[in-house]
Each structure stands twice: as structure tokens, then as C-alpha cells.
Amino acid sequence: MKNLITRRKFGKTASMGLAGGAMVANLPFACAMGEQKKKLGIALVGLGGYSTYQLAPALQNTQHCYLAAIVTGTPAKEKTWSQKYGIPQKSIYNYQNFDGIKDNPDVDIVYVVLPNSMHAEFSIRAAKAGKHVICEKPMAMNVAECDEIINACKASGVKLGMGYRLHSEPFTQAVKRFVREKTFGDVIHVSSDAAYRSMGSPGQWRLNRKLSGGGALVNMGVYAIQSSIYATGENPISVSAQEFSTRPEYFKDTDETITAQFEFPSGATATMMTSHNIRANRLHASCENGWFELDPASTYIPLAGRTSKGPLDFEQVSQQQLQMDDFASHILYETPNLAPGEMGKRDMIIVEAIYKSIAQGGKRQELEFSNSYGFSK
């Protein structure tokens, strides 16, 4: 069976709003500018596993940005990272002297990769320093903090993006296109799972509610919420949710497994499951005239997908590389912001509604958004 979509076909049919960062150089208005602007410098705030094994390596291959500075609370990492990536001492900061980054012309973007409880503080400090901001998911500990971040960025006139890497990769973009073009007719039901089995130290920050703000829901659940939304092309109008635990001695302070059910304006429905005690990673959409699915749907690489018309076939490229290039091109060339701050706030509104439903014994919670709230244009 022939592939339904190849990377070449996708490149020809994708709209500018869904094009990956690698395509920016071909945009007419980018060419019209004549001279290519400089690469933007990114400062990584927090040098944990994600920065170490995903972001920093990806920044060695980006077209529109580069690793310019680091912020860490571990002195030993300063020397290691400086030697490995050639970062000068003037571009190495800790959490106390971070505000001095405002005087560093090499830094254009601050990427906050810290425990959730620190997202708001450092996103706001970065904005006040006049730097554009990428904030890892979840955006903050609550909706109020999301508003504080958004307002700080607006007040300082800087751009705000979420670290939602999947919006920049071709499998997810294909899903969005199927929905937008009604390739398989109207979407009727979506099922999404995002989960892994945690076997790490019970003392890790993700299991500490004061640092994480929640458990599986705020970590993996954001992927399931997101995929339910972009696989229907709508924001939900209601949610009902349930929580389960089979290892209460390990998950003492955070949620282990959560299921939820969404209703959408079109009449479509969705079910999601997220867990820190189950291995699952899938998106499946049943439509009027067929179906499409990604399995796995939210891992780094490789992703895989198929439809009722055939398999999906795309080049596997670092999602983080595409994501950071897309945000840099948004700043440089005014291309669409694929994951704006309002999207992070929307997801936190849904997270809070899910927790409220659980607290009320699974009671249906109504949700209200404008038609475009949280979506990239």
C-alpha cells in the first residue's frame, strides 16, 4: 500500500501556519528581507535531563538560534557545559544573579526548564530582563500564575511560547491538517493516552506536589489534553474526570492515574488517560469516513502513524530542534507562534477543571473558551 502522505507531499500542501522551522528560509517575505538576520541566542535555565539530553544537542543543529548561555544552581555543571559547548564565563549564571542576563546582548530568548513551581518566577524575571520566553509545560502551578506570566511578557513587549514540541513536528501537523481539511470527514471520537511507569526515587521533585503542582496530569496529561484538542480542532466545552491509585505508598503526594471525558461544540467526544504507573502513548480518532492514529504519539523520536487510507511516512527530525527554530523564526520573521502562552493557560484551565471534577466525585465541569482561544493562527 502506498503511503498516504510523504514528507515531500506534506511540504507542498502544508500551509505557512503549519510549516516547520526548516521551511522558514523559503518563505517569500523572508527572502524579500534580503539579508538573513542573525541567529538568536538561547539561555537554558535549568540543566537537568531534558536540557542535557534533548535541548542542548538540538541547539547544535538549529538554523535560527543557538545555545548562548546557561543558568544553573550546580557549580560543577558550569565547567562541564562551558567546556563542552564553548560558553564564555560572562554567559554563565546562577539563580541568584540571573537578572544580570538583561545586560547580555548575546541572549535573546530564555528557555525555562525548571521544576514547575519555578516556571512563573523565572519566566517573569526573564520578561522583565527584556528577553523572549519559552516556558516548559505545564506553564505554571495554576491559572493565576499563567496570567502573571502572560501579563509580564506583554508589559515588556517580549514574545512568549510554550515548550510544546509536538506542534512543530510533521506527524502532529498532519493530524491538524486531516481535521482542518476533513480528510476523513468530521471527527466523531478521540481516544488519547499519555503515560509511563515511574520507578525512580520517591523523593524526586515530580512526586512532590509543592514543586510539581500535581502528578501525572500536569506532566504526561498535558499531552493527552493537547492531542484531544488538535485531533478535534476544537476546545472542549465540558470535562468529567476520575482518579485511581494502585501504589499509594509510592504516590503519596501526587496523582497516579487519571481518566477524563471531554465534550466538544461539534458534538465530538474524547476520552483520555494519563498515568505515572502505566505505559501508554497513543492517539486515535474515529471519523465519519475513516480514522487516523499516532502510536507512539508523544515520544521524542521515532513517532509513527497510520490512517484508514494507509501509513504516514515522515523524516524523523529532532522535535526540539524544530520547536526552537519555529519560535526563533516567529521572532525574526513574524511567522505564527505555534504554541503561544494562551495555549498553556488554556491547558491549565482544563487541568484545574479536571482536579475539581475529581474532588466532586466526577461531576461534569463546564468549560468556556472563545473559538480561537489557545490556538495558533
CA 242 to CA 361: how far, in whole Å? 7
What value, to the nearest 5°, has the Cα angle with vertex 142 and ends 208 and 367?
Answer: 125
Q: Which residues make Cβ contacts (< 8 Å) with residue 217, sequence separation at least 6?
A: 255, 258, 274, 351, 354, 355
Tell me the domains of the chain and their CATH numbers.
Answer: 37-163 (3.40.50.720), 166-315+337-366 (3.30.360.10)
Least confident of 20-34, 44-58, 182-196, 227-241: 20-34
Cβ count near 196 (within 10 Å) = 17
Amino acid in the structure at residue 326: D
Residue 308 has pLDDT above 50, yes or no: yes
Percent share of the chain, pLDDT over 70: 90
Residue 8 has pLDDT above 50, yes or no: no
Element (H, E) at 70: strand 65-71
Confidence at 354, pLDDT banded by 50, 70, 90: very high
The mean predicted confidence, pLDDT, of the chain is 91
Q: Which residues make Cβ contacts (< 8 Å) with residue 35, sequence separation at least 6?
A: none
pLDDT at residue 301 in the model: 84
Q: One of 66, 111, 131, 137 is an active-site residue; which one? A: 137
Confidence at 298, pLDDT banded by 50, 70, 90: very high
Residue 347 C-alpha cell reads as: 491547558
Amino acid in the structure at residue 268: A
Confidence at 9, pLDDT banded by 50, 70, 90: very low
Residue 172 has pLDDT above 90, yes or no: yes
Element (H, E) at 355: helix 341-359
Instruction: Answer whether 203's CB lies under 8 Å from 216's CB.
Output: no
Q: For the chain, what's the residue count?
A: 377
Q: One of 223, 230, 345, 355 is an active-site residue; which one? A: 223
Confidence at 319, pLDDT banded by 50, 70, 90: very high
Torsion on CA atoms 208, 278, 342, 40, rounded to nearest 10: 80
Residue 282 has pLDDT above 60, yes or no: yes
Average pLDDT score over residue span 335-350: 98
Residue 16 has pLDDT above 80, yes or no: no
Give pLDDT tens digits for 81-106: 999 999 999 999 999 999 999 999 99
3-class SS of residue 294: strand
pLDDT at residue 12 in the model: 33
Any catalytic annotation for residue 111? no
Any catalytic annotation for residue 223? yes
Confidence at 11, pLDDT banded by 50, 70, 90: very low
Q: Which residues make Cβ contacts (< 8 Å) with residue 220, sequence separation at least 6?
A: 194, 195, 196, 274, 275, 276, 298
pLDDT at residue 95 in the model: 98
Confidence at 37, pLDDT banded by 50, 70, 90: low
Residue 357 C-alpha cell reads as: 471534577
